[in-house]
Amino acid sequence: MKNRAILSRIRGNLKHTSKSTKASILVKEVQKLDPVTKEVLFTYPSVDAVIADGFSKSNLFGALKNGNKYKGFLWGYAE
């Protein structure tokens, strides 16, 4: 098989999120957490507010998804 055929098969099996799912993620409250005590330091009203504060969207979503630190803080969605 050629690379194009393999890639098309791989891409065909991926699940794509709908626009409504993406929109609901952007309006959730995001919390900046202390990495040691897990205490909430600040709560942002939306992802857009975090981005406006100078953080990168892709790195923020990676930290939210994987639970990793980003810029020295842990990040999570408010419950």
Predicted TM-score of the model (pTM): 0.69
The C-alpha atoms of residue 31 and residue 44 are separated, in whole angstroms, by 6
pLDDT in tens, 28-48: 899 999 999 999 999 999 999
1 pLDDT higher than 60 = no
Looking at per-residue pLDDT, the higher value among 38 and 14 belongs to 38
How long a stretch of residues is the chain?
A: 79
